[in-house]
Chain A
Amino acid sequence: MNEFDVVGKSVEKIDSLSLATGNARFTDDFRLENQLHLAILYSPHPHAEILDIDDSEARKMNGVVDILHYKNVEGVLHTTAGQGYPEPSPYDTVLFDRKVRFVGDRVALVAAEDKDIAGKAIKSIKVEYRILKPILDPEKALDKGAPRIHDGDEFTPIPVKYSPERNLAAEIEIGFGNLKKGFKEADFIVDEVYTTQFASHAAIEPHAALSYLDEQGRLVIITSTQVPFHVRRIVSMVLSIPVSRIRVIKPRIGGGFGGKQEVLLEPLVALVTLRNKRPARLVLEREEVFRSTRTRHPMRIRLKTGVGEDGRITTLKMDALLNSGAYGTHALTVLSNTGAKVLPLFNKIENVHFIGRSVYTNLPVGGAYRGYGATQGYFALNQQLDIITRKTNQDILKFLKDWHIREGETSDVFRALGEGKEGVSQIIKSCKLDECIDRGAKEINWYEKRDKKIRARGDRVKGVGVAIAMQGSGIPMVDMGSATMKMNEDGSFNLNIGATDLGTGSDTILAQIAAEVLKVPVEKIIVLSSDTDFTPFDVGAYASSTTYVSGGAVKKCAEKIKGQMLDVASGLLESKPEELIIADEKIFNKKKGKAVSFEEIAFHSLYRENQFQIQAEASHFGIESPPPFIAQFAEVEVDKRTGKVDVVKFVSAVDCGQPINPKLAEGQVEGAVINGISYALCEEYNFGSTANLLNCSFWDYKIYTTLDIPEMVTIIVESFEETGPFGAKSVGEIAINGPMPAIANAIYDATGVRLFDSPFTSEKVYNRMKEEGII
């Protein structure tokens, strides 16, 4: 076990007291004088051409200041995906188009003196539409003669397969070994189709953005974003203003989960501010968040596996169809992740083929969502393995241990499948998945419950299911984070980071990393994050990158600071730097029995001799992306009279390397698990006859509350990743991958019924039991 002073300790999250006392400010909490309030007019049609917009009535209304639509705003093609440059998503979006592609697509925007006036004004804008035939079924999007959703100058900034004329937003195909040979060697084939649904991120803070001009006339944007630097770049591009004229500030943000990795509102407030020289505020209503922002991509995954009588998997073919909705944001990368984050886990399958297609439809737009395609892929694969092991009478836990990737091993998938290009080869250096499986199984009491169909009260029957998963730690050779630090007179340090804390606690764990290097309590690290004027670049909070990538930058930066302090101390102590040690905010020469305090070092360097600021900067990008691993176990009770599924206990055992802050790491797992269970059992989009979303409120789109949650156990398994800062890997996304398949497998264990189509609502489970003649 590695001994640390600050790392591995559950120090209090540094912003938590200010949040708990209501002091901390979120985007909408900032006051602006003389501001304009914005309201958006959305399309009521899934697919239509705008023939004309008449805003004359609205313009006459008292208090209306500006109205924007395709007639007066230049259409610059871009992607709303807040990804690195050039983005692996197609440039298929303009701020205001002549065409609308889903119910909730943006048509016009009103800026007015107050919110009520803006809201009234949008209703008096007259829009003449020519209704077009929509595509509502992703299976039909590629059909010959299907209506074309994007028929302008859309393009992809990187060379990837993209055919808007066929409604194909992305396509990926990779393979190893010999699929035919693999099927030939098989004694039987398991061929199943799994489908997953739309889901909302449901961050409790709605999307919000403000903008104003500072004293110099520069544009300042305060926004609830996961990607402040990408916001700056994309706003610069879309509005044709230099990056130097834009400052983006991310204050506290009320949850993201991928939903705020999109640049949706920032160009709008910015444009209104630039046109009117007045501050602008746009805060979405909950209904607008559901209707117009982003969702988890629904997927249909067909898995075809060749299996030997001995239970060996001879071959695996994964065919994925991703419903991208009206725009192609993250259409390629979520799809590639379904292969890239799933297939390597079972690296002993010799013959593998992955084909994925993302298609445009006239439905809400998919985007980044915690798990990012891996979630959908693991839903399919973990059930398929449950089916195979049952058919071949194998102990699934033993099977999983035999087949998963291990330390010292690799997978061809790592090399073959990257973000719109080849991936990066890597050898697994830390994997404690066996221990995760063992400890999780023990906690759920696996062998006492599996296949027992234990009766509970009423007509309820119990079952247990398991799922395993991996994720990554940032995008290798792509994601970069950086940090600057300086030392103050009292031996405290400013740590400025581009990294974006969206409630995850990244400010805290990055402070812990710096504190560990410098052997100071975390209170001595003053963190400023996510202000493009004052903090160095970071790609932002996505792809499970912050701990590993930004953490790597912070560690390097703090080590440079330490080097400078040792230099100063060696002069003061008349010693060589290598004779010195750091402890208790002092630097010692033990041999000489002399010490100098951090305070003295700071004063000396700032005021006394050869004065200079002890300060440093460092950048870091991952050359690999070590996966965290997880084993998750669900115990369910299924009511045979109603089909209602209750998860009564859920166990997650995770290898995330060395947790920097164990309680915060647990919190990441717990939050992801409950989101995952809620997604598995009750979250879905219901559409009306015009493809309009019907359940766009928290009353109708149910997410889990305290009354719904099961007994939760989270086990952090001891592990150390040598390439990570102090042994750390990521933990933000991984735990959302297991709930859905583990629950599906547990439902089967209880009832003998397979759920291939999520969510597992009472109605669906009941009908499946009827179909199978169980009831």
Chain B
Amino acid sequence: MMEGIFRINGKEKRFTFNPRSRLLTVLRENGYTEVKEGCKEGECGACIILLDGRLVNSCQVLTASAIGKEIITVKGIGDIHSPHPIQEAFVEASAVQCGFCTPGMILSTYYLLKDNPNPKEDEIRKALDGNLCRCTGYVKIIDAVKLASRKMGEK
């Protein structure tokens, strides 16, 4: 077993873990169940997190390689009492159906809007290409990104 310190949603956390374990598994085992496991093969995007500011599928990251790094999950950008404008936008645009892909979708949106606050439709589509959704047909998710962009522009 290994041990390491991680900075998760602004707080320092010490975990003991199997050296072969993936970051997704360790996060979920330690209560960060907002990081979802949909395929464990780096394809569905449900386990997306921000790792030192980069968007990654946490199922494709060895935990050991993330020691000392900054991790942000969907709970790190806003919570039910003070949601992030992107989270509000997903709610208002009816972009949340089952919600299993939503944490990953929201983080992909967050990452997109950070560098590109007014994305064009094709840029949105490209940014969310790594997040699978089977419920919405993506229509209202794209609406939500546009709405989030407007909301964040107003702030």
A residues touching B (Cβ–Cβ < 8 Å)? 10, 12-13, 15-26, 28-29, 31, 116, 201-206, 252-255, 257, 283, 285-286, 502-505, 663-664, 666-667, 670-675, 697-699, 703-707, 709, 712, 714
16 further A-B pairs in the complex, CB-CB below 8 A; given A10-B94, A22-B74, A26-B36? A12-B92, A17-B80, A17-B91, A19-B98, A21-B74, A22-B35, A28-B37, A203-B98, A255-B100, A283-B37, A503-B99, A503-B135, A671-B137, A672-B137, A706-B131, A706-B138
Can you spell out 29 A-B residue pairs with CB atoms less than 8 angstroms apart?
A16-B90, A17-B80, A17-B91, A20-B74, A20-B103, A21-B79, A24-B99, A26-B33, A28-B33, A202-B132, A204-B132, A204-B133, A205-B36, A205-B38, A254-B99, A254-B101, A285-B40, A503-B98, A664-B94, A666-B140, A667-B94, A667-B139, A670-B139, A671-B137, A674-B139, A697-B41, A699-B43, A709-B125, A712-B137
A15 contact set on B, CB distance < 8 A: 96, 99
Residue from the list A12, A286, A674 in contact with B41, Cβ < 8 A: A286
Closest to A283 in B: B37
Roughly how many angstroms separate A693 CA and B118 CA in the complex, as a whole number? Answer: 43
Give the distance to chain A from B96, nearest Cβ to Cβ, in Å: 4
A667 contact set on B, CB distance < 8 A: 94, 97, 135-137, 139-140
Closest to B25 in A: A115
Whether B87 lies near A17 (C-beta < 8 A) is yes
B97 contact set on A, CB distance < 8 A: 13, 255, 503-505, 667, 671
Closest to B76 in A: A22
Known: A252-B98, A664-B94, A698-B44. A706 touches B140 (CB 8 A): no
Residue from the list B39, B94, B98, B101 in contact with A663, Cβ < 8 A: B94
Q: How many interface residues does B have (CB within 8 Å)?
A: 55
Give the distance to chain A from B16, nearest Cβ to Cβ, in Å: 14
B56-98 contacts to A (CB < 8 Å): 73-75, 78-80, 83, 87-88, 90-92, 94, 96-98
| 4 closest cross-chain pairs (CB), A and B | A503-B98, A22-B34, A19-B99, A254-B100
Q: Mark B130-155, 1 if CB is under 8 A from A, else 0.
A: 11111111111110000000000000
Whether B137 lies near A20 (C-beta < 8 A) is no
Whether B139 lies near A709 (C-beta < 8 A) is yes
Whether A705 lies near B132 (C-beta < 8 A) is yes
A204 contact set on B, CB distance < 8 A: 36, 38, 44, 46, 98, 100-101, 132-134
Residue from the list B41, B75, B87, B136 in contact with A698, Cβ < 8 A: B41
Roughly how many angstroms separate A10 CA and B92 CA in the complex, as a whole number? Answer: 9
B103 contact set on A, CB distance < 8 A: 20, 22
Which of B36, B88, B94, B138 has the most CB atoms of chain A within a 10 A radius of its CB?
B94
Roughly how many angstroms separate A201 CA and B136 CA in the complex, as a whole number? Answer: 14
Roughly how many angstroms separate A698 CA and B46 CA in the complex, as a whole number? Answer: 12
Q: Mark B7-43, 1 if CB is under 8 A from A, else 0.
A: 0000000000010000000001001011111111101
Roughly how many angstroms separate A712 CA and B83 CA in the complex, as a whole number? Answer: 29
Whether B96 lies near A255 (C-beta < 8 A) is no
Roughly how many angstroms separate A25 CA and B102 CA in the complex, as a whole number? Answer: 13
Give the distance to chain B from A731, nearest Cβ to Cβ, in Å: 13
Known: A13-B96, A20-B87, A21-B87. A703 touches B134 (CB 8 A): yes
Roughly how many angstroms separate A257 CA and B136 CA in the complex, as a whole number? Answer: 12
B113 at the interface (CB under 8 A from A): no
B87 contact set on A, CB distance < 8 A: 17, 20-21
A203 contact set on B, CB distance < 8 A: 98, 100, 134
Give the distance to chain B from A674, nearest Cβ to Cβ, in Å: 3
Whether A21 lies near B75 (C-beta < 8 A) is yes
Whether A673 lies near B137 (C-beta < 8 A) is yes
Roughly how many angstroms separate A15 CA and B41 CA in the complex, as a whole number? Answer: 28
Whether B98 lies near A253 (C-beta < 8 A) is yes
Whether A699 lies near B41 (C-beta < 8 A) is yes
Give the distance to chain B from A287, nearest Cβ to Cβ, in Å: 8
Give the distance to chain A from B138, nearest Cβ to Cβ, in Å: 5
Roughly how many angstroms separate A13 CA and B136 CA in the complex, as a whole number? Answer: 13
B106 at the interface (CB under 8 A from A): yes
Closest to B43 in A: A698
Roughly how many angstroms separate A10 CA and B140 CA in the complex, as a whole number? Answer: 13
Whether A21 lies near B83 (C-beta < 8 A) is yes
Closest to A16 in B: B96
B3 at the interface (CB under 8 A from A): no
Give the distance to chain B from A466, nearest Cβ to Cβ, in Å: 19
B128 at the interface (CB under 8 A from A): yes
Whether B33 lies near A13 (C-beta < 8 A) is no
Residue from the list B41, B73, B98 in contact with A254, Cβ < 8 A: B98
Roughly how many angstroms separate A36 CA and B129 CA in the complex, as a whole number? Answer: 36
Which of A24, A116, A204, A252 has the most CB atoms of chain B within a 10 A radius of its CB?
A204
Known: A10-B94, A12-B91, A699-B41. A670 touches B137 (CB 8 A): yes
Roughly how many angstroms separate A20 CA and B147 CA in the complex, as a whole number? Answer: 15
Whether B43 lies near A20 (C-beta < 8 A) is no
Whether A502 lies near B134 (C-beta < 8 A) is no
Closest to A697 in B: B41
Roughly how many angstroms separate A505 CA and B80 CA in the complex, as a whole number? Answer: 19
Give the distance to chain A from B74, nearest Cβ to Cβ, in Å: 4
A254 contact set on B, CB distance < 8 A: 36, 38, 98-101
A255 contact set on B, CB distance < 8 A: 97-98, 100, 134-135
Whether B83 lies near A286 (C-beta < 8 A) is no
Residue from the list A17, A663, A705 in contact with B140, Cβ < 8 A: A663
Closest to B42 in A: A699
Give the distance to chain B from A275, nearest Cβ to Cβ, in Å: 25
B50 at the interface (CB under 8 A from A): no
Whether B137 lies near A25 (C-beta < 8 A) is no
B128 contact set on A, CB distance < 8 A: 705-706
Residue from the list B38, B46, B101, B136 in contact with A670, Cβ < 8 A: B136
Whether A20 lies near B94 (C-beta < 8 A) is no
Residue from the list A20, A28, A505, A664 in contact with B102, Cβ < 8 A: A20
Roughly how many angstroms separate A642 CA and B138 CA in the complex, as a whole number? Answer: 27
B80 contact set on A, CB distance < 8 A: 17-18, 21, 23
Roughly how many angstroms separate A20 CA and B128 CA in the complex, as a whole number? Answer: 16
Known: A206-B38, A674-B137. A706 touches B142 (CB 8 A): yes
Give the distance to chain A from B35, nearest Cβ to Cβ, in Å: 8
Give the distance to chain B from A29, nearest Cβ to Cβ, in Å: 4
Closest to A703 in B: B132
B73 contact set on A, CB distance < 8 A: 22
Roughly how many angstroms separate A664 CA and B36 CA in the complex, as a whole number? Answer: 23
Give the distance to chain B from A467, nearest Cβ to Cβ, in Å: 17
B132 contact set on A, CB distance < 8 A: 202, 204, 698, 703, 705
B120 at the interface (CB under 8 A from A): no
Roughly how many angstroms separate A20 CA and B85 CA in the complex, as a whole number? Answer: 11
Roughly how many angstroms separate A231 CA and B135 CA in the complex, as a whole number? Answer: 24
B126 at the interface (CB under 8 A from A): yes
A675 contact set on B, CB distance < 8 A: 134, 137
Give the distance to chain B from A510, nearest Cβ to Cβ, in Å: 16
Give the distance to chain B from A167, nearest Cβ to Cβ, in Å: 32
Roughly how many angstroms separate A24 CA and B79 CA in the complex, as a whole number? Answer: 11
Roughly how many angstroms separate A697 CA and B43 CA in the complex, as a whole number? Answer: 9
A17 contact set on B, CB distance < 8 A: 80, 83, 87-88, 91
Give the distance to chain B from A69, nearest Cβ to Cβ, in Å: 26
B101 contact set on A, CB distance < 8 A: 204, 254
Closest to A677 in B: B137
Give the distance to chain A from B133, nearest Cβ to Cβ, in Å: 7
Roughly how many angstroms separate A671 CA and B138 CA in the complex, as a whole number? Answer: 8
Roughly how many angstroms separate A206 CA and B125 CA in the complex, as a whole number? Answer: 25
Which of A18, A201, A698 has the most CB atoms of chain B within a 10 A radius of its CB?
A698
Whether A709 lies near B94 (C-beta < 8 A) is no
Residue from the list B39, B41, B79, B91 in contact with A13, Cβ < 8 A: B91
Roughly how many angstroms separate A456 CA and B142 CA in the complex, as a whole number? Answer: 26
A671 contact set on B, CB distance < 8 A: 97, 134-137
B105-131 contacts to A (CB < 8 Å): 106, 124-126, 128-131
A205 contact set on B, CB distance < 8 A: 36, 38, 98, 100
Give the distance to chain A from B99, nearest Cβ to Cβ, in Å: 3
